[in-house]
A and B are shown apart, each in its own frame.
Chain A
Amino acid sequence: MTDSKYFTTTKKGEIFELKAELNSDKKEKKKEAVKKVIASMTVGKDVSALFPDVVNCMQTDNLELKKLVYLYLMNYAKSQPDMAIMAVNTFVKDCEDPNPLIRALAVRTMGCIRVDKITEYLCEPLRKCLKDEDPYVRKTAAVCVAKLHDINAQLVEDQGFLDTLKDLISDSNPMVVANAVAALSEIAESHPSSNLLDLNPQSINKLLTALNECTEWGQIFILDCLANYMPKDDREAQSICERVTPRLSHANSAVVLSAVKVLMKFMEMLSKDLDYYGTLLKKLAPPLVTLLSAEPELQYVALRNINLIVQKRPEILKHEMKVFFVKYNDPIYVKLEKLDIMIRLASQANIAQVLAELKEYATEVDVDFVRKAVRAIGRCAIKVEQSAERCVSTLLDLIQTKVNYVVQEAIVVIKDIFRKYPNKYESVIATLCENLDSLDEPEARAAMIWIVGEYAERIDNADELLESFLEGFHDESTQVQLQLLTAIVKLFLKKPTETQELVQQVLSLATQDSDNPDLRDRGYIYWRLLSTDPVAAKEVVLAEKPLISEETDLIEPTLLDELICYIGTLASVYHKPPSAFVEGSRGVLHKGLPPRTGSIEGPESPDTAPSGEPAADQPSVIPTQGDLLGDLLNLDLGPPVTGPPMATSTVPMGAVDLLGGGLDSLIGGSGSFTAAPSSTAPTNVGAPLGSGLGDLFDLTAGVGTLSGSYVAPKTVWLPAMKAKGLEISGTFSRQVGSISMDLVLTNKALQVMSDFAIQFNRNSFGLAPAAPLQVHAPLAPNQSVEISLPLNTVGSVMKMDPLNNLQVAVKNNIDVFYFSTLYPLHILFVEDGKMERQMFLATWKDIPNENETQFQIKDCSLNAGGDGHSSTALGSCASA
């Protein structure tokens, strides 16, 4: 006697048979027939033709039959709207039934019938049910409002159901409160601006009381709702945290994670000095660990969230490394996530264990997992410097296994290790070269070629190796082609004599035979560089490159803060804000962490950032493409070397440029300026001997007579996107002996900004604000204010890289923002640097000989262009 018998009649006349049975007089037969209909429905068969016959069975005392008919109605009412009207009377009658179960059932089912004509009839019964004496009916009715809103939002608003729903938040029954919150949240999601959940301390108190008493699901809705509340001060935040903390021990993992979200968000407001702050941090770890012993699907979501939490507050889980070790029967998606977190938690203290684990993983079967494990070893090397050597030797062991994809992956990460620790592990290159032939993936080939190019001078047969790659140039992927081009140019600059032919070949392949614009452009750039000025080419191409930063895949901090507000949601699984992927997210509000209010902010010593979180603690993020471009622009525009000012040659910087040292010698030339007292600056500048000297004196004379020097146009230092709406652009200038920083602050947010303050980190020349940042009136939205901040050079000194890098912290009532900028060195030069010719020569001679280098290039001819060998410069550089 099982339900499978309902499936057995699959003959042709099935519908006909059912029709007859539905119209039978016998109750029992009717019920059996309806069950058959439902059974067909569950497997997706179309039984809509039976609509009138099924609806006829609705008038019955038998609750099971009634429920079954309702089930049928919900599925098919939409396809038969006219027929569905037949059911309305029964619904309205049922809504008056003395049995609350039947009242609730009726209002619940009615809400599920998405037919306009029925919804009109729904309003009256719904209004009654919302005020029903039985909480079971009220809680069902609350959900029904959300259903109705989904079908006809206007109707809900016109009928005033939203207000009734809001009243239900104060209901005496916690279950009703929870459902009202859930319904309101769902409605609010489609109306982000409606401010439906108008939370205030009173309603928060109600929610917190209901939280203790309602079902686990209700707790989730309430906690998610609480997370949107912005406490007015740290005391309120703490008291909410205290009342939410017990939820961390709930058996339902969704409750736990929602509680974690509330705590993570409100914790932001608590002062770090508070005892409670530390207690709270300690309480967060065990529940997160417990989530990892749940079913794998839950673990996956938990791990994605832990990934965010670890980035925001690494201290919570720093001692829990072991729980992230991979178990052999974890599904692959759990394994990959665990690996990510292992690397994030890797530190000097636990690196030995981590490496031992990773090495194990690298011998497992699953290819994706093994690849990621190998990559992880490389990331450990970059992150924990002390472990680099062990990581490299582990990677070499793995290369010895000759497993193709392991070797390729290892080479890719070794390339990154070279970029982090140059000139340290080159001894392994020989081993890498042995595996050259087995590389078939573009990324690995490109990495290998990069290594060969970068260390061409140490690889005897570098030219042969690269030549072998060149044979199939057109079959390679773009990535490899670009690398090959660069590598051969590097090789040429290092060993010009033997490789001339090779470089010609690759340049012509890249520029003439390729369709790829990137490749062509890069080819032409190299070609022109080489043909115009090989010395410059060498300086540009072989210049020392900045080291890569330790963490390559951190989430950008503002996005991270936003995602912390979305813990436990899909956004946290995808690590994207909901606006980026939720369908029809009708202007989803951007959430942000609340500002810390507890700690006292004020002028402190420049090396501690105002919020007590030193800038150095902020993990550095490798900028995305866009940011990088911004940085480059900054770099270009900071020192005034472009545009008309250069032509006038009245600028010291310009002069330097003319002297052949170029931008690189100034910015990259590093050390020579640290000790330079600004009064003798001109003497430190490399000068050509002979006739050039005269020009130099003319130039310096010119500079001396100027009252003010060149001022670069203002550039945007801090885009509004990164600073919650505050945009800062500015430049530096020097006027009659005083340096100033000219700033424009623009408020692009929707709220008024006030309480501005500024601080500089220690820098190479001790630049510091000479006066506090004066913004007299609060800055209204869309308003800008121009400020000239006087600077002096009496601050503490710390060498920066590049030398003229300045890290700035700006605070307002919203948050503290950090940015860094480059200042032109000429603002440090004094105006009265003029020197007599004799005196200059004497000073020049005072410079010890060992600080002077000379090199001569023969065949000096001044016509630019040529074939790449003709242009020359006679220069010498001296430094004090």
Chain B
Amino acid sequence: MIHSLFLINAAGDIFLEKHWKSVVSRSVCDYFFEAQERASEAENVPPVIPTPHHYLLSVYRHKIFFVAVIQSEVPPLFVIEFLHRVVDTFQDYFGVCSEVIIKDNVVVVYEVLEEMLDNGFPLATESNILKELIKPPTILRTVVNTITGSTNVGDQLPTGQLSVVPWRRTGVKYTNNEAYFDVIEEIDAIIDKSGSTITAEIQGVIDACVKLTGMPDLTLSFMNPRLLDDVSFHPCVRFKRWESERILSFIPPDGNFRLLSYHVSAQNLVAIPVYVKHNISFRDSSSLGRFEITVGPKQTMGKTIEGVMVTSQMPKSVLNMTLTPSQGTHVFDPVTKLLSWDVGKINPQKLPSLKGSVSLQAGTSKPDENPTINLQFKIQQLAISGLKVNRLDMYGEKYKPFKGIKYMTKAGALKRQIEELWWRQH
């Protein structure tokens, strides 16, 4: 099982170590540093590194490497999932997860880590339970503690720990009972030069924020549940009920949690709500070219596309670009050759465009690399897959909760457009 954990910053300093079994010398991280040196970027450090006596499994999040040391055959996914859970817990406790905040709260961090694993076995990883054991630091609590001498370590066994619903503590009380659900969808797509879609898929999640008194039992039904054929549920969801009736029935955890995530990949169900038109031309025997991109909406069901951001990595031979946007701001960095254009909202009556000229290095008439265009955007009040919640009901408690459901569609960070050969159109 998990032996030790080292937290390492981008500079390669170990700023925290925790051992759950015997102490493993931090020199074991030398193997990790070697791999880190070899990798061109931090993201490329391989997640599994063998050393003569141990294995190092790492995740890279928030510019910190979380390196777990294991000694025997352990499912690596278990370790990596756990490491991600550690990161999420820190984020939950401190709002952000950074080297500074971890150092500032080192004792709480240490106490939390101790509660999460025992001898390498996960002990308490639900943030509900952890927060009962070790209370997150707040300014108020610090003040109260200093005055009264009480501590932020709970001295009672967390109530949810052993119940049939380990994710929920008992005795929850709110004056305003509210349940909010956010349906968030991200589109990942690859579109080729002619505008046809190579792949398109939707990663959707339903995140919930439930603040309800007592032990509410919720059911959530959808207008079109057959969209959800590839889903992962929070453990609270009763799987049998979903299998037979396509209804989500669950006793929710208290606070924020991810109810389910889903995946829609069937090509006909994935409509891409924006399009990009490009036009680049070069004159022969000249190192100047014309450049034009236009962005426009399609299939948005009347909703506005906001937060549009276009980035493109230009080929090395591009010296500079002189461009004028019809709206928004643009930057071209001549060193990294990255063009980024912050478009903002798309007004369908007046499509945003970016026009101008490209100057190439003298002597090169056509760049040999194929740039891609990446697009980011947001659409409020729309789940692009068409997923719609039908109704939300509560059983088991008598009060009337306030319910709210929000939809949002985003471009995944992964959208790219292959502009193969478009530099050769001169």
Pairing of A with B: yes
Footprint of B on A, CB under 8 Å? 1-4, 6-7, 27-28, 31, 35, 38-39, 42-44, 62-65, 67-68, 71, 74-75, 78, 99-101, 108, 111-112, 114, 134-136, 140, 143-144, 146-147, 150, 173, 175, 179, 182-183, 186, 189, 213, 215-217, 220, 224, 246, 249-254, 256-258, 286-287, 289-290, 293, 295-298, 300-302, 322-323, 325, 327-329, 331-333, 353, 356-357, 360, 363, 365-366, 401, 568-571, 573-574, 578, 581-583, 585
Q: Contact check, B80 vs A290: say whether CB atoms are below 8 A apart.
A: no
17 additional A-B residue pairs with CB within 8 Å, beyond A300-B47, A333-B44, A582-B73: A4-B103, A35-B107, A39-B107, A71-B114, A108-B118, A112-B20, A143-B118, A150-B21, A249-B239, A257-B75, A290-B261, A297-B59, A298-B84, A300-B46, A327-B414, A329-B414, A360-B370
Main secondary structure of the interface of B (DSSP, over half): mixed
Chain B residues within an 8 Å CB radius of A246: 239-240, 243
- What CA separation (Å) do A538 and B1 show in the bound complex? 62
- What CA separation (Å) do A231 and B372 show in the bound complex? 53
Per-residue A-contact encoding for B146-158, CB less than 8 Å = 1, 0 else: 1001011111110
Per-residue A-contact encoding for B74-100, CB less than 8 Å = 1, 0 else: 111110111110000000000000000
What are 24 A-B contacts defined by CB distance under 8 Å? A6-B107, A35-B107, A42-B109, A42-B110, A64-B111, A71-B114, A114-B22, A150-B21, A182-B1, A182-B121, A183-B121, A215-B125, A249-B239, A250-B233, A251-B234, A252-B81, A258-B75, A290-B230, A295-B80, A297-B59, A297-B80, A325-B198, A360-B418, A568-B75
Q: Contact check, A112 vs B73: say whether CB atoms are below 8 A apart.
A: no
Main secondary structure of the interface of A (DSSP, over half): helix
Q: Taking the complex as formed, is B177 at the interface, i.e. its CB lies under 8 A from any CB of chain A?
A: no
Q: Contact check, B77 vs A298: say whether CB atoms are below 8 A apart.
A: yes
Q: Contact check, A302 vs B73: say whether CB atoms are below 8 A apart.
A: no
Of B77, B111, B151, the residue contacting A254 (CB under 8 A) is: B77
Q: Contact check, B265 vs A323: say whether CB atoms are below 8 A apart.
A: yes
- What CA separation (Å) do A665 and B372 show in the bound complex? 59
Q: Contact check, B121 vs A569: say whether CB atoms are below 8 A apart.
A: no
Chain A residues within an 8 Å CB radius of B39: 332
Q: Contact check, A249 vs B106: say whether CB atoms are below 8 A apart.
A: no
Q: Taking the complex as formed, is B162 at the interface, i.e. its CB lies under 8 A from any CB of chain A?
A: yes
Q: Contact check, A568 vs B19: say whether CB atoms are below 8 A apart.
A: no
Residue in B23, B76, B146, B149 with the greatest tally of chain A CB atoms within 10 Å: B76
Q: Contact check, B162 vs A136: say whether CB atoms are below 8 A apart.
A: yes
Of B19, B83, B235, the residue contacting A250 (CB under 8 A) is: B235
Of B110, B152, B265, the residue contacting A38 (CB under 8 A) is: B110
- What CA separation (Å) do A798 and B374 show in the bound complex? 57
Chain A residues within an 8 Å CB radius of B329: none
Stretch at the interface among B50-58, B275-283, B380-388: B50-58
Chain B residues within an 8 Å CB radius of A301: 47-48, 76-77, 80
Q: Contact check, B23 vs A570: say whether CB atoms are below 8 A apart.
A: no
Q: Contact check, B370 vs A363: say whether CB atoms are below 8 A apart.
A: yes
Q: Contact check, A286 vs B413: say whether CB atoms are below 8 A apart.
A: no
Q: Contact check, B369 vs A38: say whether CB atoms are below 8 A apart.
A: no
Of B108, B119, B123, the residue contacting A147 (CB under 8 A) is: B119
Q: Contact check, A325 vs B199: say whether CB atoms are below 8 A apart.
A: yes
Q: Contact check, B372 vs A328: say whether CB atoms are below 8 A apart.
A: yes
| A177: min CB distance to chain B, Å | 12
Residue in A28, A99, A331, A568 with the greatest tally of chain B CB atoms within 10 Å: A331
- What CA separation (Å) do A6 and B48 show in the bound complex? 34
Stretch at the interface among B10-18, B300-308, B344-352: B10-18
- What CA separation (Å) do A186 and B230 show in the bound complex? 33
Chain B residues within an 8 Å CB radius of A63: 151, 153-155
Chain B residues within an 8 Å CB radius of A571: 73
Q: Taking the complex as formed, is B229 at the interface, i.e. its CB lies under 8 A from any CB of chain A?
A: yes
> Please, which residue of chain A has its CB at the minimum distance from the CB of B316?
A365
Q: Contact check, B17 vs A44: say whether CB atoms are below 8 A apart.
A: yes
Q: 6 nearest interchain CB pairs?
A: A2-B104, A64-B151, A64-B153, A286-B230, A254-B77, A297-B47
- What CA separation (Å) do A585 and B261 show in the bound complex? 39
Of A67, A111, A140, the residue contacting B153 (CB under 8 A) is: A67
> Please, which residue of chain A has its CB at the minimum distance from the CB of B70?
A570
Name B388-426 residues within 8 Å CB distance of A: 413-414, 416, 418, 420
> Please, which residue of chain B has its CB at the minimum distance from the CB of A35?
B107
Chain A residues within an 8 Å CB radius of B21: 112, 147, 150
Given contacts A111-B119, A578-B73, contact A64 B152 (CB under 8 A): yes
Chain B residues within an 8 Å CB radius of A136: 157, 161-162
Of A44, A144, A570, the residue contacting B55 (CB under 8 A) is: A570
Q: Contact check, B119 vs A3: say whether CB atoms are below 8 A apart.
A: no
Q: Taking the complex as formed, is B37 at the interface, i.e. its CB lies under 8 A from any CB of chain A?
A: no
Q: Contact check, B77 vs A3: say whether CB atoms are below 8 A apart.
A: no
Chain B residues within an 8 Å CB radius of A298: 77, 80-81, 84
Q: Contact check, A300 vs B48: say whether CB atoms are below 8 A apart.
A: yes
Q: Contact check, A360 vs B263: say whether CB atoms are below 8 A apart.
A: no
- What CA separation (Å) do A295 and B203 show in the bound complex? 13
Q: Contact check, B58 vs A569: say whether CB atoms are below 8 A apart.
A: no
Chain A residues within an 8 Å CB radius of B260: 251
Q: Contact check, B17 vs A251: say whether CB atoms are below 8 A apart.
A: no
Given contacts A67-B114, A143-B119, A301-B77, contact A43 B188 (CB under 8 A): no
Q: Taking the complex as formed, is B258 at the interface, i.e. its CB lies under 8 A from any CB of chain A?
A: yes
Name B231-249 residues within 8 Å CB distance of A: 231-235, 239-240, 243
Of B60, B104, B156, the residue contacting A4 (CB under 8 A) is: B104
> Please, which residue of chain A has its CB at the minimum distance from the CB of B234?
A251
Q: Contact check, B149 vs A251: say whether CB atoms are below 8 A apart.
A: no
- What CA separation (Å) do A658 and B20 show in the bound complex? 76
Name B137-193 residues within 8 Å CB distance of A: 139, 142, 146, 149, 151-157, 161-162, 164, 166, 188, 190, 192
Chain A residues within an 8 Å CB radius of B40: 332, 366
| A539: min CB distance to chain B, Å | 48
Q: Contact check, A1 vs B142: say whether CB atoms are below 8 A apart.
A: yes
Chain B residues within an 8 Å CB radius of A217: 78, 82, 121-122, 125
Q: Contact check, B17 vs A43: say whether CB atoms are below 8 A apart.
A: yes
Q: Contact check, A44 vs B14: say whether CB atoms are below 8 A apart.
A: yes
Q: Contact check, B166 vs A215: say whether CB atoms are below 8 A apart.
A: yes
Residue in A39, A42, A150, A568 with the greatest tally of chain B CB atoms within 10 Å: A42
Q: Taking the complex as formed, is B322 at the interface, i.e. its CB lies under 8 A from any CB of chain A?
A: no
Q: Contact check, A75 vs B23: say whether CB atoms are below 8 A apart.
A: yes
Q: Contact check, A297 vs B58: say whether CB atoms are below 8 A apart.
A: yes
> Please, which residue of chain B has its CB at the minimum distance from the CB of A189?
B72
Q: Contact check, B151 vs A249: say whether CB atoms are below 8 A apart.
A: no
Q: Taking the complex as formed, is B368 at the interface, i.e. its CB lies under 8 A from any CB of chain A?
A: yes
| A307: min CB distance to chain B, Å | 14
Chain B residues within an 8 Å CB radius of A365: 369
Given contacts A257-B77, A323-B201, contact A251 B233 (CB under 8 A): yes
Q: Contact check, A290 vs B53: say whether CB atoms are below 8 A apart.
A: no
Given contacts A43-B16, A569-B75, contact A175 B22 (CB under 8 A): no
Name B205-231 residues within 8 Å CB distance of A: 229-231
Q: Taking the complex as formed, is B26 at the interface, i.e. its CB lies under 8 A from any CB of chain A?
A: yes
Q: Taking the complex as formed, is B364 at the interface, i.e. its CB lies under 8 A from any CB of chain A?
A: no
Q: Taking the complex as formed, is B333 at the interface, i.e. its CB lies under 8 A from any CB of chain A?
A: no
| B208: min CB distance to chain A, Å | 13
> Please, which residue of chain B has its CB at the minimum distance from the CB of A74?
B19
Chain B residues within an 8 Å CB radius of A578: 73
Q: Taking the complex as formed, is B105 at the interface, i.e. its CB lies under 8 A from any CB of chain A?
A: yes
Q: Taking the complex as formed, is B71 at the interface, i.e. its CB lies under 8 A from any CB of chain A?
A: yes
Chain B residues within an 8 Å CB radius of A134: 157
Q: Taking the complex as formed, is B30 at the interface, i.e. its CB lies under 8 A from any CB of chain A?
A: no
Chain B residues within an 8 Å CB radius of A302: 77
Name B309-345 residues within 8 Å CB distance of A: none
Chain B residues within an 8 Å CB radius of A333: 44, 46-47
- What CA separation (Å) do A176 and B121 show in the bound complex? 12
| B52: min CB distance to chain A, Å | 8
Chain A residues within an 8 Å CB radius of B106: 3-4, 6, 38-39, 42
| B422: min CB distance to chain A, Å | 13
- What CA separation (Å) do A152 and B212 show in the bound complex? 49
Q: Contact check, A101 vs B156: say whether CB atoms are below 8 A apart.
A: yes
| A214: min CB distance to chain B, Å | 9
